[in-house]
Amino acid sequence: MTDVLPGVLADLTSHRGVVVDSPPGAGKSTLVVKATKEMVSSGQLPLMIVAQTNEQVDDLISRLITALPPGVVIGRLSAQGYVPTPRVAAHASVTVGSKVADLGPALIVIGTAAKWATLNDGQWPWAIVDEAYQMRSDMLLRIANRFDKALFVGDPGQLDPFSVVESERWNGLTWDPMQSAVAVLLRHNPHLPVHRLPVSWRLPFSAAPVVSQAFYPFTGFSSGTGDGDRRLSLTTASFGGGPVDAAVETAAATGWALYELPNRHTLRTDAEAAAACASLAQRFLERGAVAYSEQAPDGAPVTASRIAIGAAHRDQVAAIRSYLPPSSEITVDTANRLQGREYDVTIVLHPLSGRRDATAFHLESGRLCVLASRHRHACVVVARAGIPELLDAHPSTEPVHLNVPVKFPDGWEANQSIMAHLNGHRVNV
């Protein structure tokens, strides 16, 4: 990563834009912070920073405050009625306002894309756009006149932006508003340099090759840690055993487990699968899992806040949560909202579990990629049997449109690749 930054910044002086692709956990945020620091020290100011959600903005601010030299004022552009979170409000070097004029002498102005889009004037010579693959191109259209040069950072393997409107009207147009900002930017400016971060510091040695092969087939990345650098050990023995314990043990030993329920067509909120997700997550706590890694060579207990359960739909999330005690601190959320987050152990309810058909939504590679790449140690996938057969019965039948670039990875292929890997880690119920 340290090698990438000088090249990126050098390219930015000679091009209007630079794109940095980052696989899961490859230090995207660190890159943004370091790039900001460099730009501050070389006087590439004023600088605008665009993130996609308020949470991302607050995250970035708290990381920037500690990294930047004292005295650099950060202006947080926010909607009216925004109440600064404690981590932002605690710092004197952050000013908050809904207009640029309210921000005082801030040379770094940071806000969500939606907020930037409300500005009608102002011009910043430099910009950093974070999570640019999560931003739709119509949003970029609304903010692009605010900056001269921009660094776009994001993960191409994650979920594409979406729209509640289905329309084929703009298919094949280079400025298709439904495409991601980076896709449109690169189609109009194909000569812009694209850099890649080559190492995932989050994914363990057991996961990086699997995720890389399935979701980044042509660019690839490796894990920053080697075989055996990360270890998950269970401090208590199971009483009587059973499939839940078997899955927990398999995941602890190999980094992966497939907890396979009997084949059945179910409603989206499959009660058995939801209960299984909850009991697997709790079992990691009951078994006293301890994570050994480069960050904690002497071991750190895997607490509830270090475990997440991910699903495709919000009603599934609600169903899973209903099987957890109300006070539980285990995170349960949809793939969309888990983007950019990191845990020691994740439990994933497979998007195709119990389905009769494989729709484009459920096949989208980004969804599975997000769910399968949030963990530092182990990932347990919960699914009904029969997903490979379901995939075989539903080959991709999306129509091919003129002038639409072929997109990789293919969701069907990625799903097959992950299932093939999980087959070796299967625990039957």
Partner 1 sequence: MSALTALARASAVQAGVAQPIATVRHVHLSSRPLVFIPLSLAGEAHAPLAALVGSSVESPQLLVVPQPRNRDQRFGFAATLAEILVSYVDSFCGETETVAVDRGRDVRERYVDAPQILVPNGGGIGFVRLFGRSTRFRRTTGEWAVDPAVPLLGRWLTFFAERAEYPGSSMLVSMTGALGMHWATGQSSVEDANLAALLGWIAPPAGMTGAEAALEAEDPLRWPPAGPATDPTFDNEVLAPAIESGSLSTLEKALRDQLEPTWELMWRGVSLLRALPAGSRVERRWADDRGAFTGYVEYVAEGGFPQAKLDVAVAAAQRLAKLERAQALYDAQRAYDDPLVLAEYRLTGEAFAGSVVASSPDRLDASGKKRVLRPHITVRSDDPVRLGPGVTVVSPARPAQKGRIVSVSGSDVVLELSGGMGRGLTAPPGSVPEVGERLTYTTLTESYQAPAAFPSRDETPWTHGGPPAEYVPDNEDAAEEWS
Residue ranges in contact with partner 1 by CB under 8 A:
16-17, 117-118, 120, 137-138, 140-142, 144-145, 163-165, 167, 169-170, 173-178, 181, 184-185, 188-189, 267-268, 314-315, 318, 322, 402
Alpha carbon separation from 231 to 100, 117, 227, 252 (Å, rounded): 49, 46, 9, 8
- The nearer residue to partner 1, 186 or 302, going by C-beta atoms, is 186
In the bound complex, what is the minimum distance in angstroms from residue 187's beta carbon to partner 1?
9
In the bound complex, what is the minimum distance in angstroms from residue 235's beta carbon to partner 1?
34
- The nearer residue to partner 1, 294 or 357, going by C-beta atoms, is 357
- The nearer residue to partner 1, 24 or 354, going by C-beta atoms, is 354
In the bound complex, what is the minimum distance in angstroms from residue 188's beta carbon to partner 1?
4
In the bound complex, what is the minimum distance in angstroms from residue 395's beta carbon to partner 1?
17
In the bound complex, what is the minimum distance in angstroms from residue 295's beta carbon to partner 1?
32
In the bound complex, what is the minimum distance in angstroms from residue 182's beta carbon to partner 1?
10
In whole angstroms, what is the distance from residue 92 CA to residue 176 CA?
Answer: 42
- The nearer residue to partner 1, 74 or 127, going by C-beta atoms, is 127
- Range 200-234 burial, b when 16+ CB lie within 10 A, else e: bbbbbbbbbebbbebbbeeeebebbbeeeebebeb
Distance of CA 368 to the CA centre of its chain: 11
- The nearer residue to partner 1, 287 or 355, going by C-beta atoms, is 355
DSSP 165-179: S---TTTT-TT-TTS
- The nearer residue to partner 1, 83 or 92, going by C-beta atoms, is 83
- The nearer residue to partner 1, 37 or 187, going by C-beta atoms, is 187
In the bound complex, what is the minimum distance in angstroms from residue 64's beta carbon to partner 1?
25
DSSP 194-229: EEE--EESSS-TTTHHHHHHHH-TTT--EESS-TTS
- The nearer residue to partner 1, 355 or 426, going by C-beta atoms, is 355
In the bound complex, what is the minimum distance in angstroms from residue 170's beta carbon to partner 1?
5
**Residue 379 β-bridge partners:** 256, 346
In whole angstroms, what is the distance from residue 280 CA to residue 62 CA?
Answer: 34
In whole angstroms, what is the distance from residue 45 CA to residue 126 CA?
Answer: 7
Contact call for residues 216 and 409 (beta carbons, < 8 A): yes
Burial class (CB in 10 A: 0-12, 13-18, 19+), 400: exposed
In whole angstroms, what is the distance from residue 227 CA to residue 208 CA?
Answer: 11
Contact call for residues 73 and 105 (beta carbons, < 8 A): yes
